[in-house]
Amino acid sequence: MAGSAVSTEVRDTKVFHAKQFGGKAEKAKQTAARRNIRHHKKVHQAAQSAAEATSVLLPNEAGFIEVDEGETTFNITQAQLLSHVDVGTKKKAFSLQLSHGPYRLDYTRDGRYMCLGGEKGQFAMFDVIDMKPFFDISVKQTVRDVQFLDNHEMIAVAQKKYVHIYDNNGVEVYCLRDLGLTFQLEYMAPYWLLASIGEFGELSWQDISSGEVVARHKTHKGPCKVMRHNRDNGVIHLGHNNGTVTLWTPNEGKASVEMLVHKGPVVSMAIHNNYMVTSGFDGFWNTWDLRNYNKVLHRQFTGRIPPSAMAVSQTGLLSMSLGGRLEFFKDVFRHGGGIVPSLYLKHQFTSELVRDIKFQSYEDICAVGTSTGISTLLVPGAGIANFDAFAPNPYESSSKKQVQRMLDKIPYDTITTKNLEIGAYKRHQVALDEDESKTTGSVPLVDSGGDALKSKRKKRRALRATTAQKVGHNVTLMHIMQVAKYERTFQRRQQAVKDRLRNLRRQKVKGGDAKERIMEAMSFEDSTGQRRIRGPVRGAALSRFAEKS
């Protein structure tokens, strides 16, 4: 019987080597990843060293009041503070007794100009550095709120019926008749949007550069008198009479987040980075982390009178008004809001009620609008000591301001509750957004107070959706698809520009020539002779990345 044949086949050892140690493609990917990590580390180290070198040249230092052991800072009065400061700082503390209050006020982003509006019709603006008045007029109507727009040359005033736009001479230049019975105004500078809310509970965003209303959503919660916007991501926060706070973006027709913060109407609100402070008629003021809506970080009882106005300085000092008393708290947002805030300063107004509070940028000044005028208080440590020339600069010319802000305008469709940097991209982000868009239910109510918000009546579920509901649902899906399409096109163009720049740099092509080649390859000339971006999606995606490269 013949013996079994022995296999003499020689196996390819490269297959086993690839399985054990990875193929060439995998090795190339790992090498590129390591190279990117090394590059980012070098960039981070260079930025750190540059920041350390620049910090040596900073002329001023920020500091708070320091007292001896056993003493407290909140017993220090404004008269004692004024006796220990120089003449220039003393001029910044003033008080105006006026007869058309209560008064609302606002500063420009650089802190140089102030405007004030009295509820009985007085409207004025002046330069707080030179103390030069620009105008002081009477609009002969109720003034509910005032808000600077792009610069001191345009001011929005919410009057009795409509929102009016004035220039720096007190001349009315426009009337926004689409915005009726407005209570609150917020200007979102990076997006050039003016947000407003009023008697009808309709939140609207209006582009002041083009004049069009980019979005208008109904809150279905009645009149709203509390509105703030997060400067980090552009999200609008609304405080309602049922004790809830809702977060809104112009891209969604319903609230992105709804959280129960008080057992009574929300009275005032302030936002600082990732934290939000609210006060309500239940007598409490709470601190919330906007990265986790389910838990309150700090809760403090104020008494019978709830805080009617709140404001946060550049360094994180919280100011709140309790009738005619003004209190400043320190360490509210330190260590994630986990420590008990300490009372820093306090001031009592005589026979006056505080209506509005605003901090002046880059100065240790807090402006207060009361029932009988306005006053400015010294609050050491409230402002950033050194301003950045690329940020709002109180000493730059008007032409620099206008050109720079027009170039820095960000599309409003980038506003989201997710804290992402402009231009940042995550591969799983589009998939997550598509999964969230498939949910057809209403926005979940986050029970932040620990008690469930129960409806008084059980509503019967409709058997069939109405035609209006179907149309609204289709419009929402179409809008979501357009946003996703814009994001995908945005990322493809970004990657294409990066690849082309990398190849041109290898060919030792200069920066100006490289940009011209990229623009010629990714755009075309139409019949009018203008250059247009190729593809179905128009926008500033290519131009933004061409400017950054």
Instruction: List pLDDT tens digits, range 322-344.
Output: 999 999 999 898 866 567 788 99
Is residue 298 over pLDDT 80? Answer: yes
* Three-state SS annotation for 300-325: EECCCCCCCEEEECCCCCEEEEECCE
What local confidence, expressed as pLDDT, does residue 460 receive?
47
Nearest to 430 by CA among 485, 497, 495, 494: 485
What is the mean pLDDT of the segment spanning 164-172?
95
pLDDT tens for 414-451 read 888 876 555 554 544 544 554 554 443 334 444 444 34
Give the pTM: 0.69
Which range is least confidently modeled, 208-212, 293-297, 448-452, 482-486? 448-452
Three-state secondary structure of 99-135: CCCCEEEEECCCCCEEEEEECCCEEEEEECCCCEEEE
Q: How confident is the model at residue 264 (pLDDT cuts 50, 70, 90)?
A: very high
DSSP for 369-420, written as a single string: EETTEEEEEE-TT-S-SS--TTS--TTS-HHHHHHHHHHT---GGG--SS--
Q: Using 50, 70 and 90 to split pLDDT, how confident is the model at 207?
A: very high
Residue 456 confidence class, pLDDT cut points 50, 70, 90 = very low
* Mean pLDDT of the 239-252 span: 94
How many C-alpha atoms does 237 have within 13 Å on its Cβ side? Answer: 28
Q: What's the rounded mean pLDDT across residues 82-110?
A: 91
What pLDDT does 147 receive? Answer: 97
Q: Residue type at 377? A: L
Q: Are strands 155-158 and 145-148 parallel, antiparallel or unpaired?
A: antiparallel
How much is the pLDDT for 106?
96
For domain 78-378, is the CATH number 3.40.50.1820?
no
Residue type, 212: E
Q: Using CA atoms in the order 309, 312, 318, 321, what is the torsion angle rounded to 10 degrees?
A: -20
The answer to whether residues 215 and 250 touch, using CB atoms and an 8 Å cutoff, is yes
The residues that bridge with 347 in the sheet, in sequence order, are 326
Q: What percent of the chain has pLDDT over 90?
A: 43
Mean pLDDT to the nearest integer, 179-198? 93
CB contact at 8 A, 243 and 260? yes
| For residue 373, pLDDT beyond 80 | yes
Arithmetic mean of pLDDT, 343-365: 93
pLDDT of 71 reads: 84
- Token couple for 444: 């979940």
Average pLDDT, the chain: 80
pLDDT band at residue 199 using 50, 70 and 90 as cut-offs: very high
Confidence (pLDDT) at 445? 44
**How far is it, in rounded angstroms, from Cα 445 to Cα 259?**
6
Tell me what the mean pLDDT of segment 50-78 comes to: 77
